[in-house]
Structure 1
């Protein structure tokens, strides 16, 4: 039985916690906290968060990433990005148990904005674990598995497909195709899950569970979604795999998503 991830009042429970971090990743998290605090002072950064498999307690050494979100007092600058890149590089050098560190930079203005209430706001409130500073979740609502949440989290798959086609055409090395296949497969599975999320009535970030649940509602695409869940964990350099997601399953999924939930509210161009 797949847990629905809901509190007693029907709202989505926050996933993850520092107490769930496995011993193999504790030194990584400690080092990340120290480096971030030493670089992004309280004058620059409001708070920092972990997300992904490490705070959920499902990370696998040498396979899983270290994923971090920093909430800045201002819009990210080139200096902020350079500092984040330096921290990522230092963590990658020091800890072979992670398959890369990634730091997202976003201003508190954006994270708390009405436009991002059901996307970046939901991400902070339900999918991120506080690491440093005051928790922005205290300034955000409780969320339910609604069509609005589905639309605003993943209702822009069509735009992503255009970007992926360009990247796939430009990929010349197996390493590039592996990286892209992982990105594409993860997004496909998450979009497939949020497509059926309001009907199922719960939340999960588990990719296998997401694929299984999707298959209950769309059995004709169940095998493709299970394949996507596999590629999300074990990326493939095969161009045919990418083509299946980008030119077959992806376009169908984007069309069905728009029909069921509508398209995501457009964001300003950068």
Structure 2
């Protein structure tokens, strides 16, 4: 089982260390990060509170032509539809201009939402621990330190059961293998991360590496370990699923008929259900 003592991702006091830094951005991605920074600053101007990078680029593990550019932008007020439209244009422009990224995605939020009590152990934790400051004042200064405990597990991924009905709808609507491959990638990532946070308090650490997440999960649920390892591979390389369109459809069915429902039930049993958000159905 997990070794005792300090685990990767924790500081000497047992808090989750912030991952990523601008110094870790690979050379191939520095130009796109610089342009994104300048465009966000120009586009949002006085409404901008802060902006962050997250994902593989600030962690230094991004692969040219394979990795996304992920941005989180916090505004001083609630984002408007006009703000969202502008950021969609920004994402499309960056994706077209820089072949080293496989898409750009900007998550637009308000300062108040990040710092709210409701989001303290979800979006707040995400900003404080998984986001790298790019512009403005760092919201992490107004957030607590976080341990890999059951509260964090519940509030980050304790809502899988709510997502499964919509997953089934999207799978039924997916009419091309490209669409199914995209769903395999996204749902695989969500399941692996949920499997990891299920065992995170016992494993006593943090990692964003999906393969390491799957291995940690397998230490405590060996009967499901092979499924989670396969999901980790599909999360990085959905094309690695052999068998083409039929295989992708089968993987998706297994997620919503077997692994997903089991994981949601086990998660609720161990950690409870995430605090409801407005709009949950």
Fold-level match, TM-score > 0.5? yes
- 2: distance between equivalents of 1:158 and 1:231? 21
User: 1:4, CA displacement in angstroms?
Assistant: 2.5
- Which residue is equivalent to 2:44? 40
One of 200, 203, 206 as aligned partner of 1:200 = 203
1:19 aligns with 2:23: yes
Cα distance between partner residues in 2 of 1:181 and 1:224: 13
Q: Is the 8 A contact 1:4 1:201 kept in 2?
A: no
Deviations 1:163-211 (A, max 9, x none): 1111000000111111111110000000000000001111111100000
Q: Secondary structure at the residue paired with 2:257?
A: helix
4+ residue segments displaced more than 2 Å = 1-4
Q: 2:182 & 2:206 partners in 1: Cα distance? A: 26
TM-score normalised per structure 2: 0.94
Deviates further, 120-129 or 229-238: 229-238
Q: Check conservation: 2:7, 2:204, Cα contact below 8 A.
A: no
Residue-pair matches, total? 269
Local SS of the residue matching 2:161:
helix
1:240 matched residue in structure 2: 250
Structure 2, gaps ≥5 residues long: 240-244
Distance (whole Å) between structure 2 residues aligned to residue 160 and residue 45 of structure 1: 31
Which residue matches 1:258?
268
In the TM superposition, residue 223 of structure 1 has moved relative to its aligned partner by 0.4
Contact in 1 for aligned 2:9/2:206 (Cα 8 Å):
yes
| Separation in structure 2 between the aligned mates of residue 160 and residue 4 of structure 1, nearest angstrom | 30
Of residues 185, 189, 199 in structure 2, which corresponds to 1:186? Answer: 189
Answering whether residue 129 of structure 2 is matched by residue 164 of structure 1, we say: no
Query: How high is the TM-score relative to the length of structure 1?
Result: 0.97
CA shift at 1:44, angstroms? 1.2
RMSD: 1.2
